[in-house]
């Protein structure tokens, strides 16, 4: 760092110890006879701020002030040399040196620009022009007192010699330099600048170690330390780092010498180095090594060895791979041609020697496959190839050849041959008739089935076999009006011309008196060239398959027709049963609200409602079973907490249980969750609980429990203390319409358990029962478990509907009902008469209802769908098409109650869809929702 300055400079550490002095400082102070020996030069303690004044106090000395963080700029100070006693004045600059994050200086730099002696003469101490060598600074004036001068003529001669030496050094084809113990350059030639990319000025600011990095730098540093300690040079191969970061390989040769010290009478050690840029040599060696490695790897990958036989000297060069191939333990230098021949298999040796002799004589080239026997007994297949090299007189002088291990290829040929035989055997065993055609359509091969059942060629009046023309066969039949054969001929030509990748068609052939249908596939033969394409024709007799497919289509059509008929029948039966049930239950609900009825009459009405609801339940179960059997039931599987679900089910069977004094118990089920359709699982549990109560004994017990199994399933059990079931009857419990003989006097349809089984299986579960006569029964089901965190508990939702008469929404004042059934029309009129604020209008057909809607503009229309003449859908479309009635809410009130009916109605544009029999509360709630009001309140009876 100090040598980078042209002014005299001294560098100190944080303790005030001298680290280094630059060349200008050393030379200038030497002329003043001021020594720099030691870590603290003595002249620093004699500084005074006035001529011949008292030395400054230690705290005010420039060095201490700089170490305390102060900066002095060109301060005039004086000191007297000890030897000559000359008073010297200097303009001193002192500044602290800081490191990042330090709270005090890590050192100080002192420099000065001029020295004025006592006599007034000025000593110029700056270094002269900086060339690539550390020259002694030129002195324009070097007077020390009145008696010293430098001979200018002598100085000019020195400069000339220096320049000549510099030119010689710069023209050297090698790098040359000298460095001191710290790596500072003393001399360096232009070659170092050209190789490293740094200028001479850059290099003076650097050390030799700065041109290297990593391990190379560490290795060089250790070598330099050893060289200066032992005064012996060293040689190293190192990568020099250029200013662009490029690594340049060099070979460095060094020696250690001495020079006169400028500080003392001792001699300084210098390291002189010469370095050669060996990058081009390294590159050539690297390229050669890569080429040789590629050749060796290529030989290893291809299992190839090389030989070069000098026919004049009988010397043979063998590559290392040849000895490895034949299993020889001798090196290639000791490996002879006789040993090569001796390695050949005895049955192949003579043939190989004869082929080599023919090649040497010039009658043939060497291209021979043979076997060798290795010393370990292993047998390998080899391929030897060679040719002659001639001199100018056409005399053979060398044989250059290769040997390759082709054992894998031979094994592959053997496997391919065996596979080809196996494939041919498989093809021959097929019932399909297969042939291969060339580009002209001629048959070049056929399989055994084609040979046994050939086609008759109408052109040559003989069997179509190998040598026959398949395209001519197709064309001949096409000319007789066979369109299927014309299509086949076009397909074959299309594949041969590569217009299509494959083709397939069906043709008919008469075999004796029986007509057969053949599926013909045309595919290109793999491996054939574009110039000589081949196709494979595959004739497969599909007569039986087409007959079976026709039977299946007919059976499918019949099954679909039967399914449609069944669905239509169920829909019709549902409508026909629900229509009178609407009147029965509707009028019963009206009578139930009559205050003038006595207790016997109310009980009779209750029986009517009970029987009607049972009949409605029977209708619903029949329809439910039909939907499940047809696969149209839709399930939504979700986590369900059993405790919540059981809480919803128990209130629905408690009244019946209390009537028969049956106790209902349950386990704690809050920690058990299952993956099921909530609505359908509730339906299943209600059915099992109802049966447990229905078929129990007086004062009996019903218990609901659940537990996790060893797998991922949950087992739910409903146990009762009833009469029990015989073992022989358990297997039939889950069949439709099956009832025990002893239970024929009880209400029931025999459908409930069948529906339960179908629903459980649809949810991926199983259901069953165990029972003993006289001890009761246990019905169980197993379904998948779910995690409790995923389940959403629901609040108890009682299905109990208040018997209070619902309040009608205020916005629906004028009601138009359109119904073709007189009893249902009167029922709705009676219901609406309960609300004196309503104005009820009726129409018994669609056309009449449309006219009233246009004229009277009702607030709401209640519309039946199944009507003679204009049905409900047609009427709805007419209402929506008329701007006068387009915005009137329309609620469907119909006996069409299947899922498809409801879906169709909502898609048609009904605002709501109610199925008969109509529950009065459901009617009021639906009207409130459609009219945009809150749920209806209840009026007291």
Q: Domain range for residue 907?
A: 805-939
**Residue 138: is its pLDDT beyond 60?**
no
Mean pLDDT of 78-101: 77
Mean pLDDT of 673-693: 87
**Residue 2: is its pLDDT beyond 60?**
no
Q: What distance in Å separates the CA atoms of residue 639 and residue 786, rounded to the nearest whole number?
A: 6
**Residues 763 and 815 grouped into a single domain:** no
Q: Which range is least confidently modeled, 74-78, 614-618, 681-685?
A: 614-618
Q: Which residues are registered as beta bridge partners of 187? A: 133, 178
**Residues 785 and 813 grouped into a single domain:** no
Among 109, 120, 116, 123, smallest CA distance to 71 is for 109
**Would residue 748 count as lying in a domain?**
yes
By CB neighbour count within 10 A (0-12 exposed, 13-18 middle, 19+ buried), where does 313 fall?
exposed
**Would residue 26 count as lying in a domain?**
yes
Q: What distance in Å separates the CA atoms of residue 189 and residue 272, rounded to the nearest whole number?
A: 12
Q: Give the residue, 627 or 304, on which the prediction is more confident.
A: 304
Q: Is the dihedral of CA 695, 701, 702, 708 positive or negative?
A: negative
**Residues 652 and 711 grouped into a single domain:** yes
Q: What distance in Å separates the CA atoms of residue 645 and residue 677, rounded to the nearest whole number?
A: 11
Complete DSSP assignment for 536-566: EEEEEE-HHHHHHHHHHHHHHHHHHHHHHHH
Q: Render pLDDT for 638-661 as a digit per residue (tens, 0 to 9).
A: 898 888 888 888 888 888 888 888
**Residue 218: is its pLDDT beyond 90?**
yes
Mean pLDDT of 103-107: 84
What pLDDT does residue 796 have?
Answer: 39
**Residues 667 and 731 grouped into a single domain:** yes
Helix, strand, or coil (residue 480): coil
* Residue 620 Cα distances to 136, 406, 834, angstroms: 120, 81, 30
Mean pLDDT of 747-754: 70
- Mark 362-386 as b/e (b = at least 16 C-beta within 10 Å): eeeebebebbbbeeeeeebbbbbeb
**Residues 661 and 751 grouped into a single domain:** yes
The percent of residues above 70 in pLDDT, for the chain, comes to: 81
Q: Which residues are registered as beta bridge partners of 401? A: 307, 386
Find out whether 478 and 458 touch, Cβ atoms under 8 Å. no
Find out whether 399 and 360 touch, Cβ atoms under 8 Å. yes
What pLDDT does residue 889 have?
Answer: 92
**Would residue 620 count as lying in a domain?**
no
**Residues 328 and 227 grouped into a single domain:** no
The number of domains in the chain is 6
**Would residue 579 count as lying in a domain?**
no
**Residues 838 and 914 grouped into a single domain:** yes
The dihedral region occupied by 393, where left means phi > 0, alpha psi between -120 and 50, and beta the remainder, is alpha
Check which CATH number belongs to the domain holding 824 and give it: 3.40.50.2300
Mean pLDDT of 329-347: 73
What pLDDT does residue 774 have?
Answer: 83
Check which CATH number belongs to the domain holding 485 and give it: 3.30.450.20
Q: Which residues are registered as beta bridge partners of 21? A: 10
**Would residue 420 count as lying in a domain?**
no
Our measurement of the distance from residue 52's CA atom to the centroid of its chain's CA atoms, rounded to an integer in Å, reads 88
Helix, strand, or coil (residue 438): coil
531 half-sphere exposure, CB direction, 13 A CA radius: 0
Q: Which two tokens stand for residue 863?
A: 């519309």
Q: Which residues are registered as beta bridge partners of 351? A: none
What pLDDT does residue 798 have?
Answer: 37
Q: Which range is least confidently modeled, 428-442, 796-810, 843-857?
A: 796-810
What pLDDT does residue 208 have?
Answer: 92
**Residue 934: is its pLDDT beyond 60?**
no
**Would residue 696 count as lying in a domain?**
yes
**Residues 261 and 362 grouped into a single domain:** no
Q: What distance in Å separates the CA atoms of residue 454 and residue 433, rounded to the nearest whole number?
A: 8
Domain boundary among 495, 515, 541: 541
**Residue 919: is its pLDDT beyond 90?**
no
Q: Give strand ranges (E) for 204-336.
A: 235-241, 247-260, 267-277, 304-310, 315-318
SS3 content of the chain, % helix, strand, coil (to 5): 40, 25, 35
Would you give the DSSP letter of residue 146?
A: T
What pLDDT does residue 263 have?
Answer: 46
Domain boundary among 410, 442, 473: 410
**Residue 617: is its pLDDT beyond 70?**
no
pTM of the predicted model as reported, rounded to 2 decimal places? 0.34
Centre a 10 Å sphere on the Cβ of residue 573 and count the other Cβ atoms it contains. Answer: 14
Domain boundary among 790, 813, 834: 790
What pLDDT does residue 701 have?
Answer: 92
What pLDDT does residue 743 have?
Answer: 60
What pLDDT does residue 132 have?
Answer: 40
What pLDDT does residue 837 have?
Answer: 81
Q: What distance in Å separates the CA atoms of residue 506 and residue 224, rounded to the nearest whole number?
A: 93
Q: Which range is least confidently modeled, 131-140, 151-160, 216-225, 807-816?
A: 131-140
Q: What distance in Å separates the CA atoms of residue 205 and residue 211, rounded to the nearest whole number?
A: 12
Band (pLDDT 50/70/90 cuts) for residue 222 is very high
What pLDDT does residue 719 have?
Answer: 92
Q: Give the residue, 73 or 5, on which the prediction is more confident.
A: 73
42 half-sphere exposure, CB direction, 13 A CA radius: 8
**Residues 183 and 224 grouped into a single domain:** yes
Spell out the residues 6+ positions from residue 484 whose beta carbon is closer than 8 angstroms to its own.
Answer: 505, 506, 507, 508
Q: Residue with structure tokens 């004028």?
A: 814
Mean pLDDT of 743-770: 79
What pLDDT does residue 63 have?
Answer: 86
The percent of residues above 90 in pLDDT, for the chain, comes to: 14
Q: Which two tokens stand for residue 338?
A: 């006789």
Find out whether 630 and 559 touch, Cβ atoms under 8 Å. no
**Residue 151: is its pLDDT beyond 50?**
no
Band (pLDDT 50/70/90 cuts) for residue 265 is low
What pLDDT does residue 5 have?
Answer: 58
Band (pLDDT 50/70/90 cuts) for residue 112 is confident
Q: Give the residue, 95 or 85, on which the prediction is more confident.
A: 95
Q: Residue with structure tokens 């391919």?
A: 416
Q: Which two tokens stand for residue 631?
A: 């696969």
Find out whether 284 and 269 touch, Cβ atoms under 8 Å. no
Mean pLDDT of 860-872: 88
96 half-sphere exposure, CB direction, 13 A CA radius: 17
**Residues 402 and 469 grouped into a single domain:** no
Helix, strand, or coil (residue 255): strand
Q: Which range is least confidently modeled, 97-111, 801-815, 838-852?
A: 801-815
Q: Render pLDDT for 487-543 as a digit per residue (tens, 0 to 9).
A: 999 999 998 888 888 899 988 887 667 788 888 999 988 877 777 888 898 888 888
Q: Render pLDDT for 51-88 as a digit per residue (tens, 0 to 9).
A: 777 888 877 888 888 888 888 887 888 877 766 667 77
**Would residue 266 count as lying in a domain?**
yes
**Residues 818 and 907 grouped into a single domain:** yes
**Residue 372: is its pLDDT beyond 50?**
yes
> How confident is the prediction for the chain on average, in pLDDT?
79
What pLDDT does residue 623 have?
Answer: 66
**Would residue 720 count as lying in a domain?**
yes
**Residues 405 and 443 grouped into a single domain:** no
Q: Render pLDDT for 27-56 as a digit per residue (tens, 0 to 9).
A: 777 767 676 655 567 777 778 888 777 888
**Residue 182: is its pLDDT beyond 80?**
yes
Band (pLDDT 50/70/90 cuts) for residue 799 is very low
Q: Which two tokens stand for residue 292?
A: 């040789």
Find out whether 885 and 853 touch, Cβ atoms under 8 Å. yes
Find out whether 408 and 425 touch, Cβ atoms under 8 Å. no
Q: Is the peptide bond before 917 cis (omega within 30 degrees of 0)?
A: yes
3-state helix/strand/coil string of 12-76? EECCCCEEEECHHHHHHHHHCCCCCCCCCCHHHHHCECCCCCCCCCHHHCHHHHHHCCCCEEEEE
By CB neighbour count within 10 A (0-12 exposed, 13-18 middle, 19+ buried), where does 845 fall?
middle
């Amino acid at each position: 760092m100090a040598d980078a300055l042209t002014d005299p400079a001294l560098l100190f550490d944080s303790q005030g110890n001298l680290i280094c002095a630059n060349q200008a400082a050393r030379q200038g102070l030497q002329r003043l006879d001021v020594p720099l020996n030691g870590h603290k030069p003595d002249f620093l303690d004699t500084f005074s701020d006035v001529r011949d004044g008292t030395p400054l106090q230690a705290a005010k000395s420039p060095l201490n002030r700089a170490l305390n963080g102060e900066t002095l700029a060109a301060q005039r100070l004086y000191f007297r040399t000890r030897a000559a006693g000359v008073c010297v004045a200097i303009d001193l600059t002192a500044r602290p040196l800081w490191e990042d994050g330090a709270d005090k200086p890590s050192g100080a730099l002192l420099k000065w620009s001029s020295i004025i002696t006592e006599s007034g003469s000025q000593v110029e101490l700056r270094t002269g022009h900086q060339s690539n060598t550390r020259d002694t600074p030129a002195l324009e004036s070097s007077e020390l007192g009145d008696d010293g001068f430098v001979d200018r003529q002598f100085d000019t001669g020195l400069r000339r010699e220096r320049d000549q030496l510099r030119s010689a050094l710069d023209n050297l084809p090698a790098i040359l330099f000298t460095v001191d113990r710290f790596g500072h350059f003393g001399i360096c030639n232009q070659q170092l600048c050209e190789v490293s990319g740094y200028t001479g000025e850059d290099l003076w600011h650097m050390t030799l170690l700065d041109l290297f990095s990593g391990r190379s730098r560490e290795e060089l540093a250790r070598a330099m330390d050893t060289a200066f300690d032992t005064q012996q040079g060293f040689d190293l191969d190192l990568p020099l780092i250029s200013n662009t970061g490029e690594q340049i390989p060099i070979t460095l040769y060094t020696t250690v010498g001495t020079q006169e010290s400028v500080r003392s009478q001792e001699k300084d050690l210098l390291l002189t180095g010469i370095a050669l840029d060996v990058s081009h040599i390294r590159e050539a060696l690297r390229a050669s090594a890569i080429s040789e490695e590629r050749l060796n790897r290529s030989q290893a990958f291809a299992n190839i060895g090389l030989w070069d036989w000098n026919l004049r000297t009988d010397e043979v060069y063998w590559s290392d791979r040849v000895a490895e191939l034949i299993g020889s333990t001798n090196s290639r230098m000791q490996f002879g041609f006789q040993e090569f021949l001796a390695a050949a298999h005895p049955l192949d040796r003579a043939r190989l020697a004869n082929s080599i002799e023919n090649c040497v004589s010039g009658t043939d080239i060497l291209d021979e496959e043979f076997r060798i026997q290795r010393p370990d007994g292993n047998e390998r297949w080899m391929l030897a190839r060679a040719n002659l090299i001639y001199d100018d007189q056409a005399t053979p002088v060398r044989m250059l050849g290769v040997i390759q291990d082709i054992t894998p290829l031979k094994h592959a040929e053997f496997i391919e041959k065996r596979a080809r035989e196996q494939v041919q055997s498989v093809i021959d065993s097929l019932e399909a008739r297969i042939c291969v055609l060339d580009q002209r359509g001629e048959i070049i091969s056929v399989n055994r089935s084609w040979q046994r059942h050939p086609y008759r060629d109408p052109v040559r009046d003989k069997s179509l076999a190998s040598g026959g023309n398949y395209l001519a066969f197709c064309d001949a039949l096409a000319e007789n009006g066979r369109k299927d054969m014309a299509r086949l001929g076009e397909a074959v030509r299309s594949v041969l011309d590569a217009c299509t990748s494959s083709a397939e068609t069906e043709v008919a052939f008469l075999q004796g008196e029986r007509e057969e249908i053949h599926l013909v596939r045309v595919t290109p033969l793999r491996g054939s060239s574009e110039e000589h394409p081949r196709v494979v024709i595959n004739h497969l007799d599909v007569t039986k398959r087409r007959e079976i497919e026709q039977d299946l289509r007919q059976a499918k059509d019949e099954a679909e027709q039967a399914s449609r008929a069944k669905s239509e029948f169920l829909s019709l039966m549902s409508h026909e049963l629900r229509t009178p049930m609407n009147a029965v239950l509707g009028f019963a609900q009206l009578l139930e609200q009559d205050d003038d009825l006595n207790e016997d009459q109310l009980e009779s009405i209750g029986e009517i409602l009970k029987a009607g609801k049972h009949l409605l339940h029977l209708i619903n179960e029949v329809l439910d079973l039909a939907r499940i059997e047809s696969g149209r039931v839709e399930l939504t599987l979700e986590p369900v907490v059993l405790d919540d679900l059981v809480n919803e089910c128990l209130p629905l069977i408690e009244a019946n249980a209390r009537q028969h004094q049956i106790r209902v118990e349950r386990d704690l089920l809050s920690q058990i969750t299952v993956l099921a359709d909530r609505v359908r699982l509730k339906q299943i549990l209600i059915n099992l609980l109802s049966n447990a109560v229905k078929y129990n004994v007086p004062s009996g017990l019903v218990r609901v429990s659940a537990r996790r199994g060893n797998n991922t399933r949950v087992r739910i059990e409903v146990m009762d203390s009833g009469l029990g079931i015989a073992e022989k009857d358990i297997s039939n419990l889950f069949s439709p319409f099956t009832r025990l003989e002893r239970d024929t006097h009880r209400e029931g349809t025999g459908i409930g358990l069948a529906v339960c089984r179908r629903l459980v299986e649809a949810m991926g579960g199983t259901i069953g029962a165990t029972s003993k006569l006289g001890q009761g029964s246990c019905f169980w089901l197993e379904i998948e478990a779910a995690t409790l965190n995923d389940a959403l508990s629901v609040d108890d939702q009682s299905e109990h509907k208040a018997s209070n008469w619902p309040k009608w929404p205020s916005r629906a004042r004028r009601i138009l009902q359109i119904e073709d059934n007189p009893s249902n029309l009167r029922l709705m009129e009676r219901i609406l008469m309960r609300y004196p604020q309503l104005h009820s209008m009726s129409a018994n057909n669609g056309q009449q209802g449309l006219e009233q809607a246009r004229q009277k503009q009702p607030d709401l229309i209640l519309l039946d769908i199944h009507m003679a003449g204009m049905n409900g859908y047609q009427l709805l479309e007419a209402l929506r098409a008329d701007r006068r009635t387009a915005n009137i809410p329309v609620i469907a009130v119909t006996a069409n109650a299947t899922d498809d009916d409801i879906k169709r109605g909502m898609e048609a544009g009904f605002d709501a869809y109610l199925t008969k029999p109509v529950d009065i509360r459901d009617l009021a709630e639906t009207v409130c929702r459609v009219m945009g009001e809150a749920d209806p309140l209840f009026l007291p009876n």
